[in-house]
Amino acid sequence: MNPRESAAFIASASKDVKLNPVGIKKVASEILQAIASQEFEPNNMMIHSYPLPVAEDASSIEWLFVADALNFSFWALEENAHYSVELHGKQYTGYMALCAAITKAQEAGIPITCPKYYATVSKEEVNAIFMSSTGEPIPLPEQRWSILQECGKILNEKFDGQFYNCVKQAGSSAQKLLDLIVSNFPSFRDEGVFEGKKVSFYKRAQILVADIWSLFKGKGLGNFGDINTITMFADYRVPQALVHFGAMEYSEKLYELLAANHTFSNGDQEEMEIRGCSIHAVELIQEELKSHSADTDKETLRINSAIIDYFLWEYRRRHAQSLAKVPYHKVRCIYY
């Protein structure tokens, strides 16, 4: 099943995670208010600029591929000890710290976004490039080194040394690009078995498609007419925001595990329920927003699951202190 079908199935059978229609409406209302106040602009899909790329060209596509190949597992058991990187006097954390590390390497003349380089990059080089500003290694350094080498070799062998060629091969289809990524790059195959059925989430593969769409503002190389087939990106931070708004609710048993910093394994029942229900919640939020389209600007009609995900992820970052009281699920894996 694709991520949308998987999510609907998981939500229908979920035992420890439930969706609340009142909370769904609350998120939709929050988005509409943010649009009305211009706090959130659906057209400005790349919420951040530096240290992310801003040039709408092939070099940025290579940059995004490396970033999303490594876009996983930045959390720490202590809330104030997350992976961080300093760049030009500014401290970045989590995914943005990864972005800072990539940009920092580029500015130092290291060709970190060149497949010919990272196909044979050494473990020591990877450790040095992505070392945190506290001197601690980035989480799962061995896996990141292995993924970089694997992805580089595949690009060199199948796509003439450029992910850009993979994007071109997709022919302006988000779904075709998603299929190309998942079928050619093993580390992007974010799948599992739930209640005896094979399900998929494809967090990193989908966010890579959406990042390209976002950077190019839905035009040129990012002109994906079927972008609405992409779901939200099931990670550990967006569910935190959904619980904050009451769109998702955890059983007492699950809440106690989360509050105790329990570390789940990728594929655990509870983990899959959280991720699947998160995807389905965003689908329901999107439907709720459509029902309000007559009362709002026409731009609201363009809001899709990727944009809702961006809103929730950014909301969590802006309100990190107040949302810290909402426990999130912790999994050490390469998928998110």
* Residues with catalytic roles: 235
How many C-beta atoms lie closer than 10 Å to residue 15's C-beta?
11
DSSP 3-state percent helix, strand, coil across the chain (nearest 5): 55, 10, 35
DSSP state of 14: -
Question: Burial, 204: exposed, middle or buried (Cβ in 10 Å; 0-12, 13-18, 19+)?
Answer: buried
The rounded distance, in Å, linking the Cα atoms of 125 and 112 is 10
Residue 234: C-alpha distances to residues 128, 210, 247, 271, 329 (Å): 29, 13, 15, 10, 12
Q: Residue written as tokens 């389905």?
A: 280
Which residues, listed in sequence order, are joined to residue 93 by a DSSP beta bridge? 84
- Residue 213, H or E segment: helix 203-215
Q: Residue 31: in which H helix or E strand, if any? A: helix 21-36
Q: Six-digit token pair at 1?
A: 């099943």
Question: Nearest-CA neighbor of 316 among 235, 211, 240, 210?
Answer: 240
Q: How far is Cα 169 from Cα 153, in angstroms, rounded to an integer?
A: 18
Distance (Å, rounded) from C-alpha 111 to C-alpha 101?
12
Helix axes 203-215, 58-69, angle to 10 degrees: 160
Task: Write down the residue that tokens 């995004």 correspond to.
Answer: 64
